[in-house]
Amino acid sequence: MKRFVYIDDDDLSNNIYCDNRISNRKYTVWNFLPKNLWEQFSRFMNQYFLLIACLQLWSLITPVNPASTWGPLIFIFAVSATKEAWDDYNRYLSDKKANEKEVWVVRKGIRKHVQAQDICVGNIVWLRENDEVPCDLVLIGTSDPHGLCYVETAALDGETDLKTRVVASACMGIDSELLHKIKGVIECPIPDKDIRRFDANMRLFPPFLDNDVCPLTIQNTILQSCYLRNTEWACGVAVYTGNETKLGMSRGIPEPKLTAMDAMIDKLTGAIFVFQIVVVIVLGIAGNVWKDTEARKLWYVQYPNEGPWYELLVIPLRFELLCSIMIPISIKVSLDLVKSLYAKFIDWDNEMVDPETGTPSHATNTAISEDLGQVEYILTDKTGTLTENKMIFKRCCISGTFHGNENEDGLKDPELLKAVASGSPDAIRFLIVMAICNTVVPVQSKAGAISYKAQSQDEEALVRAAARLNMVFLEKKGNILDINFNASLVQYEVMDTLEFTSERKRMSVVVRDCQNGNIILLSKGADEAILPHAHAGQQTRIFAEAVEQYAQLGLRTLCLAWRDLEEEEYHEWSLLFKEANSSLVDREWRVAEVCQRIEHGFEIIGVAAIEDRLQDAVPETIETLRKAGINFWMLTGDKQSTAIQIARSCNFVSPEPKGQLLLINGRTEDEVGQSLERVLLTMRITNAEPKDVAFVVDGWALEIVLKHYRKAFTELAILSRTAICCRVTPSQKAQLVELLKSCDYRTLAIGDGGNDVRMIQQADIGVGISGREGLQAARAADYSIGKFRFLKRLILVHGRYSYNRTAFLSQYSFYKSLLICFIQIFFSFISGVSGTSLFNSVSLMAYNVFYTSVPVLVSVLDKDLSERTVMQHPQILFYCQAGRLLNPSTFAGWFGRSLFHAIVVFVITIHAYAFEKSEMEEASMVALSGCIWLQAFVVALETNSFTILQHIAIWGNLVAFYVINWIVSAFPSSGLYTIMFRLCRQPSYWITIFIIVAAGMGPVLALKYFRYTYRSSKINILQQAERMGGPILSLGNIEPQSRSLDKDISPLSISQPKNRTSVYEPLLSDSPSATRRSFGPGAPFDFFQSQARLSSNYTRNCKDN
């Protein structure tokens, strides 16, 4: 599909394409209410509560006032709708500001001022320096005589360095006064979101150019939301407008990520729903039986002899309404609220602010913080993530001569300095390739100082190194490059640029030496992309050895090559290159094919080695997270030797003999298969031994493995804690993330560049580093941090606290709902199994919305251990990874607690106040008071670190309960008239409350004390150590058991990839495996000599791929 854009011709362009109005709004004034309600009711839970609320409108079956359900339901919907409306209103204001911005356009040859939203496709738009680009433009003129302009693309791709854009060659040299009269047509693709690609053609109409086709690339465009910099003016033709721009097409709401805890809560909700249906059926049948056998004998019940056809459904439906509160209506709103607070805690954490740049951490996704505490695999990029991405030229090899050593870098090497000074041909050519085979833009300040703007840090390092060796890149005037070498000016004309691609792995330029007219092909790239293309007579062994030697030192290597071209050969090739560049179909493939025709017969000039230093505290961070049971995979585009060296220096792999590297290599399917089988057999043998074993695979072998041996590679991934993947492409990075996710592992991907975006978006959690490559990865990620070392705090502190708090909050929400529901069920047994409610509607509504919600929300401040202790003992993260605080077992503990407390409250209340002893309303209020008191003590018991806010929320809530009910009791119409006044004056009421609390909390406290004292978990002992001030000497391993795999697995096959023993445990204890330790104040603690690994809490099976 194509679109044809006619330049400044409204008759042909109008009403075909959209205008430039930007709209990121989700709603309008007219569709907000229906659309928002539709979205909210698309969720099963909301549909369920709506059904319950509608059934309560049927007066025959409702046991309580419909307001008890409609009130909370409307409140929750209103909160969600208000949040959506506020977010959408802010989007509207942002759109309005952009749409009403004034810009200059040319229409019918006349320049006029219009609002940005009125720009049409085909209009010529004029920009001034520092203007924001209002739509996607094809550049046709600039103030620069060579047709250049500079744009800042940070808003588009996050890259902070200025980019160079050039006027289309067909428009080069057209006078600025004639630009507003230009006519022609641009043939371009339909709108897409690829900001790296624009394959189009332009034809100008006479008198400007007689229909000659001019190819256009992304270098001839300036895209929406970029800024014009260091250029007085520029103008371009609007080709994509409004939401059809590349930025507009890239916008959109990412798919929501479901956390492991959310999935577990959904399963538990489903289980409660099934339990509720069973209870309703049983009680419904019992109620109908009692009605037919006993109730009709009682004159005061007044049941008619014959009822309507639906009479059998009345009692079951009553119990359905009565039991509907088993599923807490407020749980989603409560979880959304606390998750937003978790994200704010990350934003507000001053210890995660990069001191060098002042960059704070930021949580873009507010819904998955608890998943940080359950991470099992971290997949990380290398350059810019583990390293600083500050490239420094360190060493080089020129024509077999090595320059630089451990004591000094290559730029200070006396032999190299002498060779440059004496005009050695090999050294000069080496410097020429370094200086001009790139896309670097020199920028000269008013003081005359030259700085370089580069999209690649490698290129900037090479140009700076050449400048220090007197080959100074001065200026770029269109296609003319000015080079100052030893105080003499040398000029080169750039004929063609063969841009770098991840497939070719090299970049070349064709230049003409302006001094002698010779045409030269200069190239630089990876060793496997350059050395095999050397001319037949050249020996490349010395260069291969240099590459290997530098890689062993952890340096990045680039091979530099040179080739002289004949005029005729270049002319023939240039026609093919131009034709390929003009193609609108498969342009990238055709260009690559043409490049292959000329990129051969190289004379290898030398090898450059560049150092990229590790960031501060990277080894320590990886070591700490490894202790937490997290496995690491490094995914990098670097060569194997460099990646291995960096991995060793980062503590990815231990040195020999403890550490062992297993290589998967080969060029054919059979070779790779045999290599994989050897590695797999070795891994099975060594899996039970305490060895640090890692496997290494390159991109070529990985492609074969993922296509033909996916099952075997999946088994290998499960058996190995560490992997080093070299020469991998962005798509392969994403495939590896998907592979681990398919085995039900929680994955975290971290990177800093645009090539990491797919990996980051594919992972359960994506973390972007705001680095020198820009903000593209940070913007695509769920979390952004300034440095890799902050990942430790993000996971161990924020992830662990978020998991613990959410586990308590979710289970407590079910506990409070089940408690009141069980009391209602028990009451039915003394009320003829009729579905009558013990509590009135006002009490039920207040119970759900106010009395039980406020105390638990402050649990977001709770910390079971101090941050310092958590960072010192990362092994305790396993409790989160294994789901020890939220699983069917812990939920069963809360379920049992709610049932026990319901029995206590009901039995004591009935014996003290039921039957002829008092009114039903009094008994109801006593039972409700008992529930409120019990829950206050439950929250207090489960709170580990008290703050003033928690005390106010817990005990202040009790005071508020009595104040509210005193006020309600003053109104005759409330149904509670004088109830609280009478109860509070009765000593028996307070005695009953005391007995309820003592009977309800006594066994819970005793059980907790027993487990805390005699079957302490490691977390319990750390808590005791904190309270008594005793230091911790060591902490034993708390890791999952080695994954058991069938040793008789046939070669390259898998039977049971991942198996974890099922061990569940209630919330009252974290682990029964700890032995008791006697200690006194200040005494040191030594943890658990046993090295046995704890088993995980549930079995996961790797999905068959």
User: What span, in angstroms and rounded, lies between the C-alpha atoms of 844 and 837?
Assistant: 10
DSSP assignment string, 839-899: S-HHHHHHIIIIITTHHHHGGGG--SS-HHHHHH-GGGGHHHHTT-SSSHHHHHHHHHHHH
Identify the burial level of 251 via C-beta atoms within 10 angstroms of its C-beta, where 0-12 means exposed, 13-18 middle and 19 or more buried: exposed
CB 76 within 8 A of CB 329: yes
User: What span, in angstroms and rounded, lies between the C-alpha atoms of 381 and 753?
Assistant: 9
User: What span, in angstroms and rounded, lies between the C-alpha atoms of 761 and 1004?
Assistant: 44
User: What span, in angstroms and rounded, lies between the C-alpha atoms of 1084 and 408?
Assistant: 49
User: What span, in angstroms and rounded, lies between the C-alpha atoms of 457 and 1077?
Assistant: 56
User: What span, in angstroms and rounded, lies between the C-alpha atoms of 641 and 1074?
Assistant: 44
Report CA torsion sign: 649, 654, 659, 665: negative
- The yes-or-no answer on residue 638 being catalytic is no
Q: Render the burial of 1064-1100: b for 16+ CB within 10 Å, e for the rest.
A: ebbbbbbbebbeeeeeeeeeebebbeeeeebbbbbee
User: What span, in angstroms and rounded, lies between the C-alpha atoms of 693 and 685?
Assistant: 11
User: Of 657, 764, 650, which is closest to residue 258 (Cα–Cα)?
Assistant: 764
Place of tokens 């409560």: 334
User: What span, in angstroms and rounded, lies between the C-alpha atoms of 902 and 905?
Assistant: 5
User: What span, in angstroms and rounded, lies between the C-alpha atoms of 673 and 667?
Assistant: 10
Report CA torsion sign: 889, 891, 892, 894: positive
Out of 19, 199, 381, 862, the active site residue is: 381
DSSP assignment string, 257-302: PPPHHHHHHHHHHHHHHHHHHHHHHHHHHHHHHHHHHTGGG-TTT-
User: What span, in angstroms and rounded, lies between the C-alpha atoms of 726 and 695?
Assistant: 11
**For the chain, how big is the Rg over CA atoms in Å?**
36
Which two three-digit tokens encode residue 207? 């008198």
CB 815 within 8 A of CB 925: no
Hey, what amino acid is at 608?
Answer: A
Q: Render the burial of 612-624: b for 16+ CB within 10 Å, e for the rest.
A: bebbeebbebbeb
Which two three-digit tokens encode residue 770? 């705001």
User: What span, in angstroms and rounded, lies between the C-alpha atoms of 227 and 155?
Assistant: 9
Helices assigned H by DSSP within 699-799: 699-708, 710-719, 730-742, 757-762, 776-780, 790-793
CB 349 within 8 A of CB 363: no
How many CB atoms neighbour CB 300 within 10 A? 5
* Diameter of the chain measured on Cα atoms: 122
* DSSP 8-class letter at 518: -
User: What span, in angstroms and rounded, lies between the C-alpha atoms of 839 and 817?
Assistant: 13
- The four Cα atoms 861, 867, 869, 871 give a dihedral, to 10 degrees, of 140
Hey, what amino acid is at 1078?
Answer: S
**Known catalytic residues?**
381
